[in-house]
Amino acid sequence: MVWDNKKKLWIFTHLLSDDYNIKNSVYPKEQGDARHHIDFNKRNNNPNNLIRMPKDEHFILHTERLEKTIHRPDIKEKAAKAHHTK
């Protein structure tokens, strides 16, 4: 996230990249409501790593590719540790 000093609030960097893509005609806003990281890496917020898609398609994509999200070894380990702390 980045701090917007003018608006006095935090902004997710992928939203800034999405705005950049729309303003530069990389894709239209009407392409969908969901912003998807092509490489499934939520920290890679480069504009060329984002696409827009309908929310239902985005949900289906993530359920079909669980090995890229909740079934990754690092995510499983993090969840296990969280369940063993107070």
The pLDDT tens digits for 46-75 are 999 999 999 999 999 988 887 777 777 887
pTM of the model: 0.75
- In percent, how much of the chain has pLDDT > 70? 100
Question: Predicted confidence band at 6 (pLDDT cuts at 50, 70, 90)?
Answer: very high
Residues 72, 33: Cα–Cα separation, whole Å: 26
Residues 85, 7: Cα–Cα separation, whole Å: 37
Residues 15, 74: Cα–Cα separation, whole Å: 25
Q: Residues 5-18: what's their mean pLDDT? A: 96
CB half-sphere exposure, 65, CA atoms < 13 A: 14
